[in-house]
Structure 1
Amino acid sequence: MPEEFTDTPLLTARFDAALHYATRHHAQQLRKGTPIPYSAHVLAVASLVLEMHGDEDEAIGGLLHDVVEDGGGTAALAEIEAAFGAKVAEIVLANTDSLDDHDGWYERKRAYVDAFATKSPAALRVSLADKIHNARSILLDYRTVGDAIWARFRQGQGIATRIYYRELAAAFERERERLGEPAQPYVDELRRTVDAISAHAELLQGPDSRELFDA
């Protein structure tokens, strides 16, 4: 089958500028417990967003989704809005756990999930791409290094992380229709990956004592 082309590029100089911004911001950051440059993650997120038929603003949001949370703060959010527009800034803010340094891990994760109904479809697609890539990485490394992986997350034997990802899978399933048809297979992919993490944990540790935040 011949290659296909578009008369108008779907990614412009704005995407190039966002890519440079993201790679410079994360230049010294590594993925937890690995020698992998953090930029590998934001590139993967942007790629998944585009596979879901997200537009350029969403792809840029994928590149920049961790900038505010990972040290940039409100100053970086203002820079992003000035350089890339209000829609991109909204996507980034919606994908930021919290700007309150006093919030604990559980409070931040609970608030993130609880806010799904108020997030735009664009922000949800970026979030889904982020969580799919993270979940795939967790599963691959879990199968490779076993329970040692949970030391990266400072969450004991990983039950808190597993509960959070099960909550995420359920939240995306509730928002399935708003995500749009091209994104729906990725909702199923997240569920499969999260279930595989839980199954491997049960093999190594036995069943988790809790399935969800309130169960």
Structure 2
Amino acid sequence: MLQAITTAAVALGDTAAIFRIGRPMTALTERYAQAVDYARIAHAGQLRKGTQIPYLSHLLGVSTLVLECGGDEDQAIAGLLHDVVEDCGGGHEGSIRAQFGDAVADIVMACTDATAEDKADVDNTASARKRDWRERKQSYLAHLRKTPERALLVSGCDKLYNARTIVQDLENPDVGQEIFNVFTAGRDGTLWYYAALEEIFRTRKAATARLFSGVVARMQALADSSIDTVPAHAVA
């Protein structure tokens, strides 16, 4: 099963080439396989925003990045489970602690800016959702400035995966600027958030900082210009 999981988790960009030199191999046990199954069941029926792609693909991608950046098994498992509490309910925290341990659960909670229940309590109007989003992100950014380094690695990989996905959509003539329509904060709020994340990761010298800075610069350039006028080498 572990071999199949490794094959399914697609490597992104040149991350592996940057981080693998001199890194000891991270051994993955059946705990990792169990975490994949936990994420698969918890997120069953959920899709990536604006797509028909199973949400599990994002979780596998984040976990892959964690491993490529030198994370250990607990961090890789947290990469698989980092959205469970936020998207599937606060009750999962106890289950994660019981099944995977405090180290994993602590990272998952550090990557969570609100539970699914918290989000459900917000008035279902565009203005209320946007206001709640901004408040949650500002609180999360403040938290990220002091979050433990083990959790910072997982958060950085999550945000790098998402930023790369946005850039890919911006570069796609069939999507382009319309990608911002799927986000609660729209174009300006999304760009603000990723710029704020970039500053924090760079200041804290996170493992993903250099890659993330390049991707965010590319995102901003594509958002400000037509695809045809932005050279591909604008991203590191």
Q: TM-score by structure 1 length?
A: 0.83
Q: Larger RCO: Structure 1 or Structure 2 (Cα < 8 Å, ≥ 6 residues apart)?
A: 1
Gaps spanning 5+ residues in structure 1: where? 1-7, 205-215
Deviation, 1:194, is: 0.6
The one-letter code matched in structure 2 to 1:60 is: I
- Residue among 60, 68, 76 paired with 1:43: 60
Hey, what's the Cα distance between the residues in 1 that align with 2:223 and 2:52? 24
Is 1:188 the equivalent of 2:210? yes
Q: Is the 8 A contact 2:96 2:105 kept in 1?
A: yes
> What is the match of residue 134 of structure 1?
162
Deviation, 1:146, is: 1.4
> What is the match of residue 72 of structure 1?
89
Gaps spanning 5+ residues in structure 2: where? 1-24, 123-130, 227-236
RMSD of the alignment, in Å? 1.5
> What is the match of residue 203 of structure 2?
174
Q: Could you report, residue by residue, the CA deviation over 1:47-101 in whole angstroms, capped at 9, with x for unpaired residues? A: 000011100000000000000000221x100100010000100000000012344
Q: Could you report, residue by residue, the CA deviation over 1:13-36 in whole angstroms, capped at 9, with x for unpaired residues? A: 111111100011112111000111
> What is the match of residue 61 of structure 1?
78
| Consecutive aligned runs of 4 or more in structure 1 exceeding 6 Å deviation | none
Deviation, 1:147, is: 1.4
The one-letter code matched in structure 1 to 2:190 is: T
What is the SS of the residue equivalent to 1:88? helix
> What is the match of residue 188 of structure 2?
159
Aligned length: 188
Q: Could you report, residue by residue, the CA deviation over 1:137-158 in whole angstroms, capped at 9, with x for unpaired residues? A: 00000121111111111333x1
Is 1:86 the equivalent of 2:126? no
Deviation, 1:104, is: 0.6
Q: Could you report, residue by residue, the CA deviation over 1:155-194 in whole angstroms, capped at 9, with x for unpaired residues? A: 33x1100110000011111111xx4xxx2xx211111111
The one-letter code matched in structure 1 to 2:178 is: A
The one-letter code matched in structure 2 to 1:198 is: Q
Hey, what's the Cα distance between the residues in 1 that align with 2:138 and 2:78? 22
Q: Is the 8 A contact 2:170 2:176 kept in 1?
A: yes
Hey, what's the Cα distance between the residues in 2 that align with 1:50 and 1:147? 32
Tell which deviates more after alignment, 110-119 or 161-170: 110-119
The one-letter code matched in structure 1 to 2:110 is: A
> What is the match of residue 208 of structure 1?
none
> What is the match of residue 118 of structure 1?
146
Q: TM-score by structure 2 length?
A: 0.76
Percent pairwise identity: 44
Deviation, 1:9, is: 7.1
